[in-house]
């Protein structure tokens, strides 16, 4: 029992504790979600994980929200104590974030620049007002070397584009949606994959120009092939191509909705991709790198 319980407790994450704290405080999923700055679905998902880990319903629905179970009441002071301890956890160099004065260089994909960094700039400025941020486009060939010599502090990219020699930490998994700029192509119901492959596609190939996109292997596994007529280096260019043509493409869900694009419901979708933070192993305890990664993971939940 002791080993099993230690194993289960080991699955608890900071986000789980913060979710519990918010539910104890507000006794309402919607209010807790607003407090945590996440969706109500995200709070529900965290609560489900907690129920699986701890083996207790924790909260039951009432007429006005949720009420803690006897076990939840029992662990409430422990949750509060752990969060207080974490809040007082010292930085490796003993310096508070608002006292750190440095330039932070982040290499990021076009997706990460818009979805992650644009959302993180205010929290970063609030936490560390003396930080200066430089964002550069993602690269793979020289990334390890540039991190070794200190030219780049952190990379935000997909797991498949991280070169050897770097440490990575998973952030979340993104999923693809199928879209077009021509509403006449959108069926009233779902579109079959066979029908989908009758249309022309645009693909995103950020590294080497290619007419092979990330979904082509998936189509082949379905016994199908698609006709790719345009290849572009970024999702933002792809969005423009789609808006002004009859082409079809797959766009990450967090870049949608987008004016002029219409979603096509499919019977099944290609697999998504994992967003990761990559950094030099020697920067594992860098206080600002650690804060950025933890804050991104806390704020962004896979849609």
pLDDT 10s digits, 38-59? 899 999 999 999 998 888 999 9
Structure tokens belonging to residue 23? 């539910």
Q: Determine what percent of the chain is predicted with pLDDT higher than 70.
A: 93
- CATH 1.10.10.10 is right for the domain spanning 2-87: yes
pLDDT range class, residue 111, cuts 50, 70, 90 = very high
In the beta sheet, which residues pair with residue 203? 231
What CATH class does 97-174+275-299 carry? alpha beta
The CATH architecture annotation of domain 176-271 reads 3-Layer(aba) Sandwich (3.40)
Residue 138 has pLDDT above 90, yes or no: no
Average pLDDT over residues 295-303: 79
Contact 182, 163 (CB under 8 A): no
H/E stretch holding 244 reads: none
Q: pLDDT digits over 234-266, tens only? A: 999 999 999 999 999 999 999 999 999 999 999
In the beta sheet, which residues pair with residue 154? 106
- CA 122 vs. chain centroid, Å, equals 18
Q: Residues of CATH 3.40.190.10 domain(s) within the chain?
A: 97-174+275-299, 176-271
Euclidean distance between CA atoms 293 and 303, whole angstroms: 18
Average pLDDT over residues 95-113: 87
Contact 171, 300 (CB under 8 A): yes
Average pLDDT over residues 195-223: 91
In order of 84, 86, 200, the CA distances from 76 in angstroms are 12, 16, 56
Euclidean distance between CA atoms 291 and 303, whole angstroms: 22
Lowest mean pLDDT among 94-103, 186-195, 204-213, 223-232: 94-103
pLDDT range class, residue 195, cuts 50, 70, 90 = very high
């Amino acid at each position: 029992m002791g080993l099993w319980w230690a194993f289960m407790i080991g699955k608890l994450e900071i986000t789980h504790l913060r979710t519990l704290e918010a539910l104890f405080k507000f006794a309402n999923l919607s209010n807790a979600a607003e407090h945590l700055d996440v969706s109500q679905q995200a709070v529900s998902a965290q609560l489900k994980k907690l129920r699986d880990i701890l083996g207790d319903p924790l909260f039951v629905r009432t007429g006005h929200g949720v009420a803690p179970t006897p076990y939840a009441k029992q662990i409430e002071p422990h949750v509060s104590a752990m969060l207080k301890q974490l809040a007082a956890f010292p930085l490796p160099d003993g310096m508070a974030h608002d006292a750190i004065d440095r330039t932070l260089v982040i290499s990021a994909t076009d997706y990460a620049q818009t979805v992650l960094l644009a959302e993180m700039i205010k929290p970063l400025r609030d936490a560390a007002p003396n930080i200066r941020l430089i964002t550069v486009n993602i690269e793979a060939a020289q990334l390890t070397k540039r991190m070794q010599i200190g030219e780049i502090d952190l990379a935000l990219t997909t797991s498949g584009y991280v070169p050897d020699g770097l440490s990575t930490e998973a952030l979340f998994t993104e999923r693809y949606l199928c879209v077009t700029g021509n509403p006449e192509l959108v069926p009233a119901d779902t579109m079959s994959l066979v029908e989908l492959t009758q249309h022309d596609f645009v693909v995103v190939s950020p590294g080497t120009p290619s007419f092979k996109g990330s979904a082509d292997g998936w189509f082949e596994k379905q016994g199908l092939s698609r006709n790719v007529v345009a290849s572009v280096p970024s999702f933002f260019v792809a969005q423009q191509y789609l808006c002004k043509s009859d082409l079809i493409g797959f766009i990450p869900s967090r870049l949608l909705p987008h004016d002029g694009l219409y979603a096509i419901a499919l019977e099944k979708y290609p697999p998504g991709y994992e967003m990761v933070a990559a950094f030099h192993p020697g920067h594992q305890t860098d206080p600002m790198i650690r804060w950025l990664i933890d804050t991104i993971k806390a704020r962004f939940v896979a849609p």
